[in-house]
Amino acid sequence: MRTILIGDIHGCADELEALLARTYAAGDRVISLGDILDRGPDVRRSLDLLYQVRAEGILGNHEDRHLHYQKYTELPAPNPVQLNTHHLKTRSQLLPEDWPWLACMRSFIRIPEHNLIAVHAGILAGVRPEHMQASKLCRVQLTKPDSSASPWSDWEFDAQGEPRLGGFAGQDLARGYRFWTDWWQGPEHVVYGHTVFQKPRLTEQNGVKTFGIDTGAVFGNSLSALVLPEWKTVSVPSRREYCRRVPGE
């Protein structure tokens, strides 16, 4: 039995189908790293494909937002969560039976047989994921070794996977922030999504590895998976650019 961990899908059902065709066999364990919803063409079929392989889901910031909004629809108070056109399109494709599945998404999954933690965005330096809020685990990018996280999430990487020295990223780097993997000491390896790279980004320090596998499927690049026990990344190209990248969205 293999374990197949899949990066941010964002409604890219054709790419998910192609990726599963290349990686999945009956009995394999499939884990989505979250951000299945929003931006892309077919959220409905993406969820159905995941259900067919009995996938487990890790909470992404997009699911977190929808769940937060949904909670307020049951309350008399005004809903404090703002939805844009992408969010509304997603809501129109969701069925009542999706909500329990989304609500059961875990904020991280430990895979002890591979000494691996799977998470949507990242883990703060020196902190166990058990001691972090779900809302942080699905949003962390730049951090400091004192475990503070940058409030900014709209900075970018260059083609080599290094933070661009400009804008908020430049200011944050000057203030001592680094991408969270720079501080990660293990002892577990970590696989994560959320931050878009041109190709899977692997780091290794003292035998501890991190794998960034959000390769921007919805932005026209590719959808990627990490396959265990081979520790092999597999990427399928996107059919097209479904969504223009807008920093901060």
Applying CB under 5 A, does 10 fall inside the site for Mn ion? no
Per the CB < 8 A criterion, the answer to whether 229 and 2 are in contact is yes
Binding mask 135-174 for Mn ion (x = CB under 5 A): ----------------------------------------
Applying CB under 5 A, does 38 fall inside the site for Mn ion? no
How many angstroms separate the CA atoms of 5 and 47, rounded? 15
Whose Cβ is closer to Mn ion: residue 45's or residue 139's?
139
Helix (H/G/I), strand (E/B), else coil: 168: helix
Of 168-227, which residues contact Mn ion (CB under 5 A)?
Answer: 194
Q: Packing angle between helix 61-73 and helix 85-93, nearest 10 degrees?
A: 70
Per the CB < 8 A criterion, the answer to whether 81 and 73 are in contact is no
Q: How far is the CB of 207 from Mn ion (least distance, A)?
A: 28
Whose Cβ is closer to Mn ion: residue 39's or residue 194's?
194
Long-range contacts of residues 200-209, Cβ cutoff 8 Å, at least 24 apart: 200/224, 200/226, 200/233, 200/235, 201/161, 202/233, 208/184
Q: How far is the CB of 114 from Mn ion (least distance, A)?
A: 23
Beta bridge partners of 51: none
Q: How far is the CB of 99 from Mn ion (least distance, A)?
A: 20
Stretch that binds Mn ion, among 32-40, 127-135, 150-158, 237-245 (CB under 5 A): 32-40
Q: Which residues of 144-178 are buried (b: 16+ CB within 10 A; e: fewer)?
A: beeeebbebbebebeeebebeeeebbeebbeeebb
Binding mask 114-133 for Mn ion (x = CB under 5 A): --------------------
Residue 173 phi, psi (nearest 5): -65, -40
Whose Cβ is closer to Mn ion: residue 41's or residue 216's?
216
Applying CB under 5 A, does 61 fall inside the site for Mn ion? yes
Stretch that binds Mn ion, among 28-36, 74-82, 94-102, 173-181 (CB under 5 A): 28-36
Residue with tokens 């699905």: 138
Whose Cβ is closer to Mn ion: residue 180's or residue 232's?
180
Helix (H/G/I), strand (E/B), else coil: 157: strand
Of 97-116, which residues contact Mn ion (CB under 5 A)?
Answer: none
Alpha-carbon distances, residue 126 vs 114, 179, 188, 191, 228 (angstroms): 20, 14, 12, 17, 26
The number of residues that bind Mn ion (CB under 5 A) is 4
Applying CB under 5 A, does 64 fall inside the site for Mn ion? no
Whose Cβ is closer to Mn ion: residue 60's or residue 129's?
60
Applying CB under 5 A, does 35 fall inside the site for Mn ion? yes
Q: Could you list the residues that contact Mn ion (CB under 5 A)? A: 35, 60-61, 194
